[in-house]
Structure 1
């Protein structure tokens, strides 16, 4: 749902990240890196989107969760005979980062799990966006 609510004003293509400005928790408000491999998709969505959101309906309206699932997600799951929710992709991403050797602190920052950080991680860790981009690129290198 965070991705569907992403406004173009919060997407920073040149710097290769987007801001999550509304989330369930304070830790969910964060900068999310855009992997090198995915950047062309973001650029295309940004150019083609006829509304203030990154993803819109063909009529230029905000694409809500149910419309997204009905139009895109469910047909894809059916085509590949899979049973997953969009939220499952978050868990998959976290697992892939762990498998690729992405440092736990970086995983937590990307996923918005900063609240799960130790006191040392919170106090002494200031990660710049390039560190987060490097981390996410570990799971889908060019």
Structure 2
């Protein structure tokens, strides 16, 4: 999920189920370390919809919750969820590397730079990108589905 969302771990840990819009296939990020990250919409790849549908049925308010319904701290997320997956596959990566992976995959798929920035929650520097360029949810979904087939 981290690879195909581009979420920071802090953002991921704060995703409430109410912010997952399955019909629209987007997640609303309300908690972010940057202004550009907060309030953005992250497209959900069609291929990951079954995982999100299942996650929405688990107890608790958060997508990344515990059995008691509370959310993980960064350290408990890493120890309980991320590191065991890495160990299972014989890999050694950090959660932040998932953002790098998504950025690289989108770039390799020739996705528009503005779309990449919007998905990752990076600021749009230029006046053209910031004021005049608008991207639709459909464009974000097309981009994420392009790399998650």
Q: Is 1:27 aligned to residue 50 of structure 2?
A: no
Q: Is 1:104 aligned to residue 78 of structure 2?
A: no
Residue of structure 2 in register with 1:57 after alignment: 66
1:124 pairs, out of 110, 129, 132, with: 132
Task: State the secondary structure of the residue aligned to 2:41.
Answer: strand
Contact 1:77 1:84 in 2 (8 A): yes
Give the root-mean-square deviation of aligned CA atoms: 1.3
| TM-score, with length taken from structure 1 | 0.91
Contact 2:114 2:124 in 1 (8 A): no
Could you tell me which runs of 5 or more consecutive residues in structure 1 were left unpaired when the two chains were aligned.
none
Contact 1:105 1:117 in 2 (8 A): no
Residue of structure 1 in register with 2:5 after alignment: none
Q: Structure 1 residues 62-71 or 99-108, which shifts more?
A: 62-71
Residue of structure 1 in register with 2:56 after alignment: 46
In the TM superposition, structure 1's runs of 4+ consecutive aligned residues that sit over 4 Å from their partners are: none
| TM-score, with length taken from structure 2 | 0.87
2:26 pairs, out of 6, 13, 17, with: 17
Q: Structure 1 residues 116-125 or 99-108, which shifts more?
A: 116-125
State how many pairs are aligned: 139
Give the Cα–Cα distance (whole angstroms) in 1 for the partners of residues 135 and 32 of structure 2. 20
Q: CA deviation at 1:55?
A: 2.2
2:80 pairs, out of 71, 83, 101, with: 71
Residue of structure 1 in register with 2:99 after alignment: 90
Could you tell me which runs of 5 or more consecutive residues in structure 2 were left unpaired when the two chains were aligned.
1-9
Q: CA deviation at 1:68?
A: 1.7
